Structure 1
Amino acid sequence: MINFLPQIYENELFYSVLARYRRMCGMVSKRALIEDLFGRHIFVSSIYFPQYIDSFVKCLPPTSELTAIEIIKNHTMFPFYTSFLSKEKTDFLFNIMQNGANGSKMTVEKYIGFSNSKVRKPNYLRYCPLCYKEDLEVLGESYWRTNHQIAGVHYCSKHHLLLKQSSVLSTGSGIDFICADEQVCDVELLKDDYPDNIKQLNLKYVHNAELLLETNFPRKELKYIIEFYIDRLREKGLASNNGNLYMKDVQERFLLNYPMEYLNLMQSDIDPDSPSNWLRLFVRNNNKNRTPLRHLLFLQFLGIRMDYLFQNKEVIGKKSVSIQHNPIFDIQERREKWLQLIEENPNANRSQLKEKGKGLHTWICKYDWDWYDRVTPKAALGREKAGTIDWYKRDEECLRLAKDAVESILHRKGKPVRVTPSSVRKILGFGSWFHNEKLVRTQQYLREAKEEIEDFRIRKIKRAIEDRIKQGEKLTVYKVQLHAGFGGNNQEVKNLIADVLEKEFNFPKC
């Protein structure tokens, strides 16, 4: 039984409430804390989508008026990430958060589609330095705000300042209950180098994201949302009357609206030449979940208010058009003309006959196909077989290309990539034939060039250290670990970084 609970602040993450409760109780054992809060030991794997909220409510004092509905809807990420899901899916996820997954390993994150999405949620809890400072002055303590943890939110809506990343992990199995205090937060402001148009675009996004978080909009089926988008594109002249999208024009307008720098910031960059970039797939009526971040980007591009999407009742989408074709010529007359064309061109194939009798060919194929197929000569010759592959010559060429690709990987700018046969093939843009064992020397080279995992880690660490030195940033094991993208809890990596700093950069070992 919980004898007391700290005052829950507006927009406070449920995780933050539990962290402050732990501090007030002085509990050291995480297991004891969980059993105290939920009446039994449960596995806590998510800050954003906690489960077994009903068990927590049952452990509250009898006089408490706090409900599971209030916690889930006002103090978790549930309202934001379910905004564009159907009512059925939303209710299903609400039940998981309220009662748990009943022994299933299915988490809310997996059901929503985080595991397959290229849009990742923040790995660390974030905060606004000015909000933090004001909290200390007014409340005597600070707390983790729900709206600061939304994917794509980079500015505080109240102070228009860049959010800072704390050292508190928000994902993974090592979740601990840590307060927003001087151990993990500070009042120093981040330098804002983003152009004003980037800032204004993100502040507009922040406004819409917070609206989703705060407003219980009626849920809509994905089919309705796609049809709504098609209707709005039609109004803008970016779709035909039948609802067929002018996708090239949509893409051009979208890229005019959003600078590529902003799309990179929002994990939604677009390759205009790729037929499968996310924007081209976004307005297709399939059954795959879309991240709310990209829904908001698309609505902002269309200039649509949030309430208009959810309160609107009628959509049209694509129209199916049925056209009845009736032949206006006499079939026998057309047949005679086609036979005459064949007779006048005895050595012509079908393609040549089509060229010579364009309108006639189209009419016959449309209204009298079976007859056309019987009387029209087919090509007499098949394609010549491709010549035999000279595998020795191909092996020699592939070996040269493989060596160039390895050099390219090792010296590429940006995030390091591990040297493996697959990464080499990907760089070259070749198909699975590149791994053919007939390419003897190439395959041997790929096996020898393959980078062991520890060697790759060392290369990532060295790159991170060199980057930080160039940028004049502080060198600590923890900072290098984060810069290299390893997260903060891997002791093996920490030891490796310490060794590299000592041996390669003459940095004293702690």
Structure 2
Amino acid sequence: MIDILPPIYPEEIFYSWIARYYTYSGGVRRVDLLKQLFNKGRIKPDLFFPFSLNYFCKQLELSERITPDYIIENHTLVPYLRPFVNHNCYESVIKGVEEDNYPQDKKVKVHLLNQYVRQSLQVFKICPKCYKEDKDKYKEAYLHRKHQIPGNEICLRHKIRLIELDIPCNETREEFIDINKYNIDFSKYDNDINISKKYVDLSTDIELLFDYKNSELNLDEIKKKNDIMLINKGYKVGQGRVNQEKLIGDFINYYGRDFLRKLGCYPDNGTDGCWIRLLTRRPNRNIHPIKCLLFIRFLFGGVDKFITFDNKGLEKQIDVKFKQTIINWDHCGEHLLNELKCSFNTAIKNSIRLGILEELLEKLNIETNEAAIEKYKNNILQYLEENENAKRGDVSNNLKKEYHVVDLKDKKWLDDLFVVRSRTNTNSKDRKRKELQVDWNQRDLEMCRKILEAANRILLEDPPKRVTALYISQKVHYSTLRNKKGLDMLPNTRKVLYNSIETREKFKMRKIRYEVKRLISEKGIVKISELRDRVGFHGDYSEYRAYMIDVISKELHNGN
């Protein structure tokens, strides 16, 4: 039974509460204390996610009336995740913080702490004014929950920048660290810098997440509202594709490159892993909450407007407009798709959903009787006969009308046709004949040149990315580079490729040099702890510490 537990303060993060209790307990051994609180002698404290809350709450006196649900909702960052992860992942996190030996969903934790939109366990964020007020009111300070959210840079209440408190490296990571142990001199921190409205807006949206208790926010609702607003703003056409280039370009212009890069939220449009592409193409995938909030403000103007946005009403207006355009159309059928601003395939899908397929086909002057369908089939067969290597996608692109009408009226015939054709095209003799037609020596020389050019381009990218076989293959558009067996025919290419790729150690050292230059240009000084976080060290980095110090001294000397 825990009998000297101090009171938990408003908006105090659970980690801070236990850290103060650790101080209150005096000379009790850490192992004994952890065993008493969590039934575990050795644990690695987590600033963001508590653990073994069921056991912990059972040790409290009945008068405390504190339950695991109360702690989760009021003193952890777990509710902050709720709108942005699917239900199964969220339930997994809840079980992970409540039960003793339940493995937490590490994927969700990584999304909360991923790369730049993160902060180290040994970096606490503090508002100087909140710190002073807490000292005056409670005679001790504590860590505020919302201040610790990765990506939140200001105290919304006082409209000042949060101070990052670096904990000395000699503090063990198995210890709960009480900020009251340190005499913090806030005078050495420059807090008179004007705060960008973008940071205030982001902090406001974070605050609203907790105020609304996320009742109106969930992954499905976010997807539906985002889709409707993308359509309304012209980035998406019906159920069709999103104009990614325009969307990403407008998003970057809205926030500015510097702001997005400081948060680690810059959408790199040149890669398949661009988070905006993932958010719009795979809406059920977990995306960092800060990135989702930035996207919501870009589309809606803030979380408050997102909450009150009537997506069903706007969706109905879009459907009514689509339907009326088709029904009232009395011009040339060829121009109808331009008026609808969608592809033939998208128009077909929307018309089926709205029950006006026959009207659409009639306005497009497309016949759907049996004689017409037979004609379309003959056109498809003739095209395939003239183009031996044509695939299903080629037919869809070149014979749109014929393909989609037959697909709707006699899908089985179309499926059977391409099943037979696929078997024919995979004949081994044909494959060997095509291989013999390749001039492998010429390809070997061409790929060597392309790899060297791609590797040099990657080394110049900002922010830096590791030179890997996968990334080079994407740059040169040749997937065979990722397959060791595929390189057997390209011996020089294999040699150049393996000489071009970076080991993890080399990339870390290049990243250190890059981040040192950035910190010097931004702040004029370099803290080892801040450099460590920017480079992305998650564990022991002692083997790089001497190199970090050497690079810092050289860059400062060159600067002088």
TM-score of Structure 1 vs Structure 2, range by shorter chain = 0.7 to 0.9
Residue 265 of structure 1 and its aligned partner are, at CA, apart by 3.5
Amino acid at match of 1:141: E
Instruction: Please point out which of 257, 261, 270 is paired with 1:264.
Output: 261
Alpha-carbon distance change, 109 to 153 in structure 1, aligned in 2, over 3 angstroms:
farther
Structure 2 counterpart of 1:36? 36
- Partner of 1:17 in structure 2? 17
CA offsets per residue over residues 203-250 of structure 1, 9 Å max, x none?
Answer: 12211211212442326653343223334445556666x565764665
CA distance in 2 between counterparts of 1:153 and 1:420 reads 33
Aligned residue in 2 for 1:201: 198
Q: 1:482 to 1:300 in 2, by over 3 A?
A: closer
Alignment of 1:181-330 (within 5 A): 181=180, 183=182, 185-187=184-186, 188-190=188-190, 199-218=196-215, 222-234=219-231, 247=243, 251=248, 254-271=251-268, 277-284=274-281, 286-303=283-300, 306=303, 315=312, 320-322=353-355, 323-324=357-358
Label 1:186 to 1:83 Cα distance change in 2 as closer, same or farther (>3 A): farther
**Relative to 1, partners in 2 of residues 1:276 and 1:446: Cα closer, same or farther, differing over 3 Å?**
closer
Seen in structure 2, the aligned counterparts of structure 1 residues 452 and 60 have a Cα distance that, compared at 3 Å, is: same
Residue 61 of structure 2: SS of its match in structure 1? coil
> Counterparts of 1:56-67 in structure 2 under 5 Å?
56-67=56-67
- Residues 263-287 of structure 1: CA deviation (Å, up to 9, x unaligned): 3334332345667743344245753
Output the amino acid matched with 2:163: K
Q: Distance in 2 between matches of 1:290 and 1:127?
A: 26
1:421–1:446: 8 Å Cα contact kept in structure 2? yes
Contact 2:20 2:178 (8 Å CA) reproduced:
yes
Q: Percent identity?
A: 22
RMSD: 5.1
Contact 1:11–1:145 under 8 Å retained in 2 = yes
Q: Of 417, 423, 440, which aligns to 1:391?
A: 440
| Structure-1 separation of matches of 2:162 and 2:155 | 6
1:79–1:213 Cα contact (<8 Å) kept: yes
Q: Tell me the SS of whatever aligns to 1:166.
A: strand
Question: What is the distance in 2 between the residues matched to 1:454 and 1:402?
Answer: 21
1:344-423 alignment runs, 5 A limit:
388-405=437-454, 412=460, 414=462, 417=465, 421-422=469-470
Instruction: Report Cα offsets for 1:340-362 as digits up to 9, x if no partner.
Output: x9xxxxxx9699xx9xxx99989
Q: Which amino acid aligns with 2:19?
A: A
What's the offset of the Cα at 1:163? 2.2
Give 1:58-137 correspondences, 5 Å limit.
58-85=58-85, 90=90, 93-100=93-100, 103-105=101-103, 107-111=104-108, 114=111, 120-123=117-120, 124-137=123-136
Is 1:443 the counterpart of 2:508 in the alignment?
no
What is the Cα deviation at residue 28 of structure 1? Answer: 6.9
Partners of 2:5 and 2:400 in 1: CA distance: 83
Q: Which residue of 1 aligns with 2:149?
A: 150
- Aligned-residue offset at 1:131: 2.9
SS at match of 2:124: strand
Deviates more, 1:296-305 or 1:325-334: 325-334
More off after superposition, 212-221 vs 12-21: 212-221
Q: Which one has a bigger Cα radius of gyration?
A: 1
Work out whether 1:432 is the aligned partner of 2:480: yes
Normalised TM-score (structure 1): 0.72
Secondary structure at 1:213's aligned position in 2?
helix
Moved more, 450-459 or 146-155: 450-459
Partner Cα separation in structure 2 for residue 223 and residue 330 of structure 1: 40
The alpha-carbon deviation at position 365 of structure 1 amounts to 7.0
Q: Encode CA deviations 1:90-145: one digit per residue, 9 max, x unaligned.
A: 55543432234xx343x144346628967743223322234334444554432111
Counterpart position of 1:345: none
Contact 1:164/1:190 (8 A) holds in 2: no
Give the alignment's TM-score, normalised by structure 2.
0.67
Paired with 1:368 and 1:35, the residues of 2 have a C-alpha distance of 69
- Aligned-partner Cα distance in 1 for 2:27–2:236: 60
Query: Where does structure 1 lack aligned partners over 5 or more consecutive residues?
Result: 342-347, 375-381
Residue deviations 1:394-435, cap 9 Å, x none? 3334444444555556x6365555555555545655423476
SS of the aligned residue for 1:121 comes to coil
Give the length in aligned residue pairs.
478
* Shift of residue 17, structure 1, vs aligned partner: 0.8
Inter-partner Cα distance in structure 1 for 2:536 and 2:374? 72
Deviation at 1:16, TM superposition (A): 0.5
d(CA) in 1 for partners of 2:119, 2:509? 25
SS of the residue 1:437 aligns to: helix
Does the CA-based 8 Å contact 2:228-2:311 persist in structure 1?
no
Partner-residue secondary structure (3-state), 1:11? coil
Tell me which amino acid in the other structure corresponds to 1:389. V
In structure 2, do the counterparts of structure 1 residues 329 and 496 end up closer, same or farther at CA, with 3 Å as the change threshold? closer
Answer yes or no: is the 8 Å Cα contact 2:160–2:191 preserved in 1.
Answer: no
Higher fraction of helix: 2
Q: How big is each residue's C-alpha offset from its partner over 1:168-220, in whole Å with a ceiling of 9 and x where there is no partner?
A: 59xxx9353112247485413346878x6xx2122122112112124423266
**Amino acid of the residue matched to residue 259 of structure 2?**
Y
Give the letter aligned to residue 494 of structure 1: R
Which consecutive unaligned segments of at least 5 residues does structure 2 have?
320-349, 380-384, 389-394, 418-429
Could you say if the C-alpha distance between residues 183 and 389 of structure 1 is closer, same or farther in structure 2, counting changes exceeding 3 Å? Answer: farther
Q: How far apart, CA to CA, are the structure 1 residues paired with 2:248 and 2:513?
A: 39
The amino acid of 1:437's aligned partner reads D
